[in-house]
Amino acid sequence: MKFSCYPVTLCLLLAAALPIRAQTTAAAQAMSFEQARAAFLERSDQLAASAKAVDSARLRREGMQGLGGPSVAITGMGYRYSANVDLDPDPARRALGNGISHLPPQLGGAVGQLPSLPANYDLQRKSNVASASLSAVWPIYMGGLGDAVRGELDAMTDEALADAATSADQLNTLLVQRYFTAQLAERAAALRRRALEGVRAHDDAAQRMLKAGVIAQVERLQASAALADAQQQARKADDDARLARSALLRTVHVASGVGGVRPSSPLFVSSEALPPLQQFLDAAQSHHPGLSKVAAKRRQAESLHDASEALRKPQVLAFGMREVNTSGKPNWVAGVAVRWTLWDSIDRDKLSAAGQRKVEQAELTDAQVRSDIALLVEKNWLAVEQSRTQYLSGQAQEDLARELLRLRAAGLKEGTSTALELIDAQLNLAKVQTERAAAANQYVQALAALLESTGQTDDFTRYMARADIQIKADAP
């Protein structure tokens, strides 16, 4: 009798771990969920990358804290120049001749003995010059541009924090999936091994009964076929458990030399119902990082709009410059400048309207995200409750399977049941128990998804500690 009890999520997670070399169960290191979470938070590259993004945004904001304050600069120059000037003395000669003609004869004759000016004169000047100056500029009024830029950077830092929180929540949920899926695989493998032991014992009994002539050859062959199938299913369950442990090993980044990890925290279910849905809806509206990101986006849009409006206003700044000389009296200048753009080629009205549209877009996005989150929370809340009731209702089926196995075992001794019926009862019990373990895993996964959708992933261990039903891998 064959059965397949692994959920689709288990198969997908196991397939993702194929590149990792399988480790033996005996060499695996037992690891509780708290230990796995601590190792995961310490070694996760994705979490480290998110932290770097937050640090970058924060440092950028700190770097722009002094925007709009004074700035001082020193400028040095060294240069060589060559100046050539061609002077024409004709106007001077004519003026001089006219002046001599008005002098008394005795003076005019004496002046006339002076040498005449040349027809032209070339003047050439070359020199090496070095100079330095110290300048300062201090914006007095920029229309609020500095505050707008700082506000945008603050919002960008908050967005990075929201992204980091979202990433952390998603990775915590992934850890829950990998960890407890590995625990489910361990449970399924243990049940399969226990069923195999029972089938092997029944097969031996069938062999003895055949020799005694109690059963027919066909019944003996059916028992042998059931044993072969149980052996194959047990091997597959063991392989799946090894792959699940390998997936967990990759998730928590444990060094490969330790021989793998084995989850020691059991699957769990709480027999008590969850708190009311409204409590989780309220928590989501307060703690979900997606809402923080939308709020940060809105503040960025508002800051950009403020910056656009600031460019419409006049700008006032003080300035000064002084030459740095080692000798002589240095030159200097100081004053106040005012600049107000009356008109340019950019349509600032449309730019302002575009900024306002961004603000309105952020407001509409916030409303849509809140609606989507509320729907997701309700879906996850219902999934947790459905999984819980499914597990609890499965108790009756497990009790029936146990009783049927007991009756088949007693019937085989009394000759009222066949060995194949006993084997079927043994495998059916393993099937029911595995299905209940799968329901418990669904409960755990749905709970993790619910807490992620409400921004409360840190509360998972609290729910785990309060659960009154625990399903260990090696439990009977």
**Looking at per-residue confidence, does 224 or 474 come out higher?**
224
- Taking residue 278's Cβ as centre, other Cβ atoms within 10 Å add up to 10
Calculate the alpha carbon distances from 149 to 60, 297, 301, 302 in Å: 11, 14, 11, 11
First to last CA, the chain: 21
pLDDT at 111 over 50: no
* Distance between CA atoms of residues 133 and 319, nearest Å: 13
pLDDT at 334 over 70: yes
Q: Within a domain: residue 443? A: yes
Q: Look at 55-69, 388-402, 414-428 and tell me which has the smallest mean pLDDT.
A: 414-428
**Looking at per-residue confidence, does 476 or 110 come out higher?**
476
CATH at 372: 1.20.1600.10
Q: Within a domain: residue 199? A: yes
CA 174, 180, 186, 191 dihedral sign is: negative
Parallel, antiparallel or unpaired: strands 315-323 and 267-269: unpaired
Number of domains the chain is built from: 1
Q: Within a domain: residue 403? A: yes
Q: Within a domain: residue 467? A: yes
- Range of 378's domain? 8-18+31-67+161-312+359-471
Calculate the alpha carbon distances from 388 to 182, 183, 189, 291 in Å: 20, 18, 23, 30
Average pLDDT over residues 132-136: 89
pLDDT at 116 over 90: no
Average pLDDT over residues 120-148: 84
Calculate the alpha carbon distances from 202 to 209, 408, 432 in Å: 10, 11, 20
Q: Within a domain: residue 132? A: no
- Taking residue 39's Cβ as centre, other Cβ atoms within 10 Å add up to 17
Q: What is the pLDDT of residues 7-66, one digit of tens each?
A: 333 333 333 333 333 333 445 678 899 999 999 988 888 899 999 999 999 999 999 998
* Distance between CA atoms of residues 170 and 344, nearest Å: 49
Tell me, letter by letter, the H, E, C secondary structure of 51-93.
HHHHHHHHHHHHHCCCCCCCEEEEEEEEEEEEEEEEECCHHHH
User: Across the chain, what does the average pLDDT equal?
Assistant: 84
pLDDT band at 154 (very low <50, low <70, confident <90, very high): very high
pLDDT at 372 over 90: yes
To which residue do tokens 């923080």 refer? 292
Q: Within a domain: residue 419? A: yes
Q: Look at 109-118, 261-270, 403-412, 445-454 and tell me which has the smallest mean pLDDT.
A: 109-118
Q: Within a domain: residue 374? A: yes
Stated as kind and residue range, the H or E segment containing 335 is strand 332-339
To which residue do tokens 């009994």 refer? 205
Average pLDDT over residues 247-274: 83
Q: Within a domain: residue 115? A: no
Distance of CA 181 to the CA centre of its chain: 23
